[in-house]
Every structure is written in C-alpha cells, then in structure tokens.
Amino acid sequence: MSTTNRQFSLALEALAELKMEVTAPLPTPVPATPSLSSVLAEIGSLPREALFLGVASDGLPVLLNLHDPVPGPVLVTSDAGAGKTKFLQTIIQTAMQTHKSSDLQYGVITNHPEEWDGIDETAHRVGIFQDNAHELLLSLASWAHGSKNTKQSILLLIDDLEFVAKLDFDALQNLRWLLSRGPARRVWTFVTLNAGRYGQVLSWILNFRTRIFGRIEGERIAAALGGDKASALDRLEAGIQFSLRENENWLRFWLPSC
C-alpha cells in the first residue's frame, strides 16, 4: 500500500474511533482522500479497455473492462446525499484524463443538469439531457445497433432511475434494449437510485447484475437491494466509500477527490 493510501486508511480508523467515543451526535469532518491526479499518477497508464471506478482498501485500482459485457449495466444505489452523483462525476473526470474521445465518450440524463456545471466540456461529452432525454436514448440505441465492430465505448450515465422511468413508452423501450444489449455493443449504462425509493422502480432493478452500494443505513432496504449483514453498508463513509459484491465477498473501495 502506498504512503498516500496508508494515510487515508489511518484517517478512517481515527474517525471510527472518534465516533465510538462520542455519545452525542456531533458534526464529523469527512476525511480528505488523495486527489484524482495523484492517484492516477501512482497507478500509471491504464489499458484502453479499463474504466477506473475507485481504489480498493489494498491500494489497487478497481477497474471495469469495457470490452467484456458480462458485468452488464451498473446500478449505483445509496441513501440520499451519500455520493451517487459524485460517483458518476468521478468516473467522468477519470475517463477524460485516461481516454481519448475517440475511444470513450459519455452522455448524461439528469433531472438536475445544474449539478453537472462543474464538469469541463470536452470532446468526450455527447451532452447533458433532461427534457430531451428520449433523444439521447434513441441516438444511442441506433448507434449501438450498428456498432458491432467499433473500438469506441459510450457511457450512458442516468442520474436517478426514478426520473427516467417516467419517460414515454418509446424511450423506455430503447432504454430496456440498451440495458440488455448495450454492453455487448460498447454502450455501458450506469444508473443511480435513491435506496429509500426502490419501491417506485422495483420492476427495473432486476435489469442490473452489477450493483454498487454507497451508504445505506436501513438494513431492510439494503437487503431488498442485494446487500446483506456482511456488506455493512451502514458503516460506509457517505460520499467517499462504496462497496460491490464479488461472488460471496464484498469489495470496498473509495473515491479520490476531484
């Protein structure tokens, strides 16, 4: 483990001990994580097909192979305010630093486009879509139908499953096709979900083989979304730590600061 990562681990341990000692709830400063630029510099060059998701507790990067469709679309779920949008934005910040636009582009669907104002506009960006979200879904579905031999990958980032589930029938048909066939055609969909609202989009959740969890305090809600007692999702640091299941084990990882 690098010195930077060791310092981060010690900061989390100190924070955990402080929480045990304090009986009354007090504002707790969030430990600072190493910067994205320093993390990427330490990792070095990534393979063309690798998408950086975060750093595991052992200091190794957590990567998604964009050329392997097996993981399928990704659901990112947590309590409100626990870092789902930050997770998507970190992916984008990393992608812009590690991939050429000819290799990787992204489009965002969100009901709050102002939250994406801080992301630099580069050639990687297809656009930020709200009222015209159906146009992006149609465009990506059309592109994916003809992209069997392409070397380029597209990230479709949907910030709030509940918002997109209210789109019209044609848009939802395109979304369902992208969820089932997109990864094999280099269209990778990442969708966020407010864990407490999972009941509103229950029929959509089974579309996601891969689920990344942020902090979820309710054990019943965590279990309904695929967590268990071993995942300890209520102990994750909001906005910093996430967890995903690898077979029977849970892999915790953290986000660098952007």
The DSSP string of 91-104 is HHHHHHHHS-TTTE
SS (H, E, C) 62-88: EEEECCCCCCCCEEEEECCCCCHHHHH
In the prediction, which pLDDT does 29 show?
52
User: Are the beta carbons of 164 and 50 closer than 8 angstroms?
Assistant: no
What digits encode the pLDDT tens for the residues 157-201? Answer: 999 999 999 999 999 999 999 999 999 999 999 999 999 999 999
Specify the pTM: 0.86
Q: Which amino acid is at 17?
A: E
Place of tokens 């939250």: 115
Name which CATH class applies to 3-254.
alpha beta
With CA atoms as reference, report the closest residue to 97 among 27, 38, 179. Answer: 38
In the prediction, which pLDDT does 134 show?
96
Least confident of 2-6, 106-110, 130-134: 2-6
What digits encode the pLDDT tens for the residues 188-241? Answer: 999 999 999 999 999 999 999 999 999 999 999 999 999 988 899 999 999 999
Q: Where are the domains of the chain?
A: 3-254
User: Are the beta carbons of 242 and 236 closer than 8 angstroms?
Assistant: yes
The DSSP string of 9-52 is HHHHHHHHHHHHH--S----PPPPPPBHHHHHHHH-PPPTTEEE
